[in-house]
Structure 1
Amino acid sequence: MLKKLKVLSVFLFFFFMLPIIAGQLPFPNNEKLVHPKEKAEEKPVVYAASSETVTATDVAPNYNPFEVLFVFTHSHETYKPVMKNANGTVAVYDDQTNLFSMQKTMADYFRLNGLTATTLDVDVMKLLKQNGAQMYQAYATVRPYLSKEIKQKKYDLILDIHRDSLPGAKTTIKHNEVNYAKVAFVIGAENPNYKANLSNANALNSSLNSIVPGISRGIIEKKGEGVDGVYNQDLAKEILLIEIGGPDNTEDEVYRTISILAQAIAKTFANPELAS
């Protein structure tokens, strides 16, 4: 009798907890990468993510330590749906709700995949306003801060994160009935690290599309008169400029893509043995 009561208690507990556990599951495809060593240990995988909050409570073991630096050269770029949800207004730039303010959640998604993400703590567009400078001077403004940071610490990958200006039809893709913000890579073709930048972009572009076909729009090379052609990528071979979505993409779409980006980086650079 006692044994039957124990079995019944376990069943009732599981039945009660099931909807709670299900409610904590992450976005589709927002899995934490599991290293072969971790699989051998047969540890349960715990997720902590929702459309509102992402907290990396179960971080993937850092079998191959991989340091990522986030840079936000156009720090006040934002998304219309995000702005509307935040304060009811519609804008594509904002000094409070923007890419720069999304850094912590982005870092949490990276930690879920065993990547250590640090943000270059410079609100570039705030500095532009303070100095009376124009948008085209953003790369020159962030350059000394970025140069100093990478001299002080070695990073395996440096991501200059932007938001594109294209409409939603061109920056959104549906996969398995779920929407994602598309990405694109911009390579300055007039810098001495061009070949290395391009090689890294090609590898990551392929990895992204292997996870969600078509999530990456590819690589855009920039050179010639009236174009930067460098984008500070001459400072390190590991710098990639990535555009994530456009003004019409939602917060959920952007974060879903961030989770895919973290997986792709882990598979491509940090733990290539995980790539299938």
Structure 2
Amino acid sequence: MKRNTTDKHKKKSWLLILLFIALGLFICWLIMLLFWSYFFSASSEDTIRWEKPIRKIAEMAPESIQNWDMLNLEDEESEESSDSRKTERAEVMLSDGRGLTPTMNELLADHPFDKEKFNARFQSMRRPVVPPKDLPHSTFGKKVAYVYHSHSRESFLPYFPETDDPKDAVHESRNITQVGKMLERALENRGIGTLVDTSDIIQELDQKGLDFSASYQVTEEHIRTARSANKKLTLFLDIHRDSLRKNATTKTIQGQSFAQVFFVVGTSHESFKSNLAFTEEVNRRLDASYPGLSKGIFQKDSSQGNGVYNQDVSPTAVLIEVGGVDSTLEEMRRTTEVLADALSESYWHKEE
């Protein structure tokens, strides 16, 4: 009898131990459930809070383009950092908006380049063009926008494995013209028929015995040839990348990096005020939904650079700097989508 009683006590003890273990596990599970519920709720509120301003400009874009994991509009830079950037920008703008003017030898140099990495990134970001019938607005096959690159060999240091020198970031084909292709596709997906000119302007300069300062002269010839072949072209976008480093050309928005933009309007021609008005409209739309992404509009006369930048060809012609020497293709892709929203809405608003 005594042994049976002892066995019963042992069984009760084990049952109590198991009960306490089960109770402990249940409490741990409950704490984790409450924690994740709170975390998910906070994340959802964040998404809802920013969804409205983000889509304000993008509402005309196809649904496939709108579904973006964007954007937190917090500006993390200090006032001191902001002031230093303004000073740096003012110094750069005293030249041609590009920093130090490169020599032709520097522009024609061949530096080791990671083509596989660049090509893989670029191909992975290609989007199908949305048919005109599926768009709220469309030019229905008519090409009205012309994207080109006066400084065509501007490339990006992340794809040069053996250098960190900004002057070495030049390439004959893997360069800013690829960003032009991104913008072309983004505009097409917003109903704006677009041509992109990927000509190697630097090679043309070399063949003609001209130096870098004649870039706009060469692209003017391309513009006039394109316009003579297509009278519908009205929107002219000269796309560049800045020569400043990453801290002055990148904006972090909701944990993702975007290439910042700024606009250059030449004031050394009679009709520049029309170009300025259009550019202000585009910039306003960017600022409305993506504060800090645009660094603003720089008006430049012939004492500060070219002064015209071929913008006398149309009231809707503008030079746009996208990103900088340290930008990645992913950053450029995000920004070209945002920029295409602002450009297309400004274009359709003008048409109406």
TM over 0.5: yes
Q: Does 2:128 correspond to 1:56?
A: yes
Relative distance call for 1:273 and 1:131 in structure 2 (3 A) is closer
Match of residue 251, structure 1, among 296, 304, 329: 329
Match of residue 175, structure 2, among 98, 101, 104: 98
Choose 1 or 2 for highest CA Rg: 2
Relative distance call for 1:249 and 1:31 in structure 2 (3 A) is farther
Distance 1:253 1:106 in 2: 13
Distance 1:35 1:186 in 2: 26
Distance 1:171 1:196 in 2: 27
1:233 Cα deviation from its structure 2 partner = 1.1
State the one-letter code of the partner of 2:341.
Answer: Q
SS of the residue 1:173 aligns to: strand
TM-score computed with the length of structure 1 as normaliser: 0.75
- 2:187 corresponding residue in structure 1: 110
Contact kept in structure 1, 2:259 and 2:322, CA below 8 Å: yes
How many residue pairs match? The answer is 237
After superposition, the C-alpha distances for 1:17-45 in whole angstroms (9 at most, x for unaligned) are xxxxxxxxxxx979995549x9xxxxxx4
After superposition, the C-alpha distances for 1:134-160 in whole angstroms (9 at most, x for unaligned) are 110101112122112223322231100
After superposition, the C-alpha distances for 1:117-146 in whole angstroms (9 at most, x for unaligned) are 211353211201222321101011121221
After superposition, the C-alpha distances for 1:82-109 in whole angstroms (9 at most, x for unaligned) are x23xx76653211121012443333222
Relative distance call for 1:203 and 1:229 in structure 2 (3 A) is same
Which structure: greater helix fraction?
2
Q: What is the 5 A alignment of 1:106-255? A: 106-120=183-197, 122-153=199-230, 154-225=232-303, 227-255=305-333
Contact kept in structure 1, 2:267 and 2:299, CA below 8 Å: yes
Relative distance call for 1:236 and 1:88 in structure 2 (3 A) is same
Over the residues paired in the alignment, what is the CA RMSD in angstroms?
3.1
Structure 2 residue runs without a partner (length 5+): 1-50, 69-120
Structure 1 residue runs without a partner (length 5+): 1-27, 39-44
Relative distance call for 1:97 and 1:143 in structure 2 (3 A) is same
SS of the residue 1:243 aligns to: strand
1:176 Cα deviation from its structure 2 partner = 1.7
Distance 2:60 2:298 in 1: 33
Distance 1:32 1:229 in 2: 31
Relative distance call for 1:136 and 1:187 in structure 2 (3 A) is same
SS of the residue 2:182 aligns to: helix
1:243 Cα deviation from its structure 2 partner = 0.4
Distance 2:315 2:333 in 1: 26
- 2:149 corresponding residue in structure 1: 72
List structure 1 runs of 4+ shifted beyond 6 angstroms: 28-32, 48-51
Higher mean Cα deviation, 52-61 or 117-126? 52-61
Contact kept in structure 1, 2:179 and 2:333, CA below 8 Å: no
Higher mean Cα deviation, 204-213 or 149-158? 149-158
Distance 2:213 2:351 in 1: 41
SS of the residue 2:181 aligns to: helix
TM-score computed with the length of structure 2 as normaliser: 0.60
State the one-letter code of the partner of 1:92.
Answer: A
1:77 Cα deviation from its structure 2 partner = 0.6
Distance 2:57 2:345 in 1: 11
Contact kept in structure 2, 1:181 and 1:244, CA below 8 Å: yes
State the one-letter code of the partner of 1:63.
Answer: H
